């Protein structure tokens, strides 16, 4: 995890290296950093892990790196083969397509329920998050924009106040998070996506009858872009 900012309270801390990594629990922090890099698309599927480069980047020895890699192998994010080294696991494109098909329906269902269930508190929270996302768009902060985008979609579904729907949606979104990160690292439809989010916010604010369709179409457009990018990476 990242190092917390300093406070006025004096606490006992572990020494850190140039990358802000604590020497205590170093392999765990390396695993966290690598996991994030994989999920956000900074390390592409099927690419080889260059151990020497990572050791130099993190300013560490091979031992904590190898320990971190073993954790990610157990999680299925990395594969290890004798004499071939470590590689980023590939993404099952067919599975991602199937998950998107289900998500389209969940977005539409959430939209129907939102028309009668959303309250002012939830709407205000979503609007604040949306404005923060707009700022990241203006400043060109891809990863920050992507993270808030994900949060907003979950908040919209949660606002329908259907815990079963929220749970299923969250689980499926977690399964496609890496695919979306990889696709966004390759090509962003920033402006188009932002305009669609503006339409979603307008429909939400007005409790518009077309909200279910607006949400579904946005999900379909996102899926098309992600699937296109994944196929291009696989070719």
pLDDT in tens, the chain (235 residues): 232 222 222 223 334 454 545 544 789 999 999 998 898 888 888 899 999 999 999 999 999 999 999 999 998 899 999 889 999 999 999 999 999 999 999 999 999 999 999 999 999 999 999 999 999 999 988 888 988 999 999 999 999 999 999 999 999 998 898 888 877 765 567 788 899 999 999 999 999 999 999 999 999 999 999 999 888 877 7
Helix (H, G, I), strand (E, B) or coil at 13: coil
125: number of Cβ within 10 Å: 14
State residue 61 phi and psi, 5-degree precision.
-90, 175
Q: Which CATH superfamily is domain 93-234 in?
A: GntR ligand-binding domain-like (1.20.120.530)
CATH of the domain spanning 26-88: 1.10.10.10
Q: pTM here?
A: 0.77
Please list the residue range(s) of the chain that carry CATH number 1.10.10.10: 26-88
Q: At what angle do helices 120-138 and 142-158 cross, to 10 degrees?
A: 170
Please list the residue range(s) of the chain that carry CATH number 1.20.120.530: 93-234
């Amino acid at each position: 995890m990242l190092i917390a900012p300093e406070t006025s309270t004096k606490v006992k801390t572990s020494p850190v290296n140039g990358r802000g990594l604590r020497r205590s629990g170093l392999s765990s922090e390396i695993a966290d950093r690598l996991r994030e890099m994989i999920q956000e698309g900074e390390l592409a599927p099927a690419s080889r892990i260059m151990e020497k480069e990572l050791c130099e980047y993190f300013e560490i020895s091979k031992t904590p790196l190898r320990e971190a890699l073993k954790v990610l192998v157990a999680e299925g994010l990395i594969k290890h083969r004798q004499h071939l080294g470590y590689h980023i696991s590939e993404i099952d494109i067919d599975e991602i397509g199937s998950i998107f098909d289900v998500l389209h329906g969940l977005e539409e269902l959430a939209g129907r329920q939102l028309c009668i269930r959303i309250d002012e508190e939830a709407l205000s929270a979503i609007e604040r998050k949306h404005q923060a996302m707009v700022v990241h768009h203006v400043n060109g902060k891809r990863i920050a924009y992507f993270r808030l985008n994900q949060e907003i979609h979950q908040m919209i579904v949660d606002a329908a106040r259907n815990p079963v729907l929220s749970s299923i949606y969250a689980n499926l979104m977690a399964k496609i998070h890496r695919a979306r990160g990889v696709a966004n690292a390759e090509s962003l439809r920033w402006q188009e996506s932002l305009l669609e989010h503006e339409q979603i916010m307008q429909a939400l604010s007005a409790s518009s009858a077309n909200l279910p369709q607006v949400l579904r179409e946005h999900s379909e457009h996102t899926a098309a872009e992600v699937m296109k990018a994944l196929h291009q990476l696989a070719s």
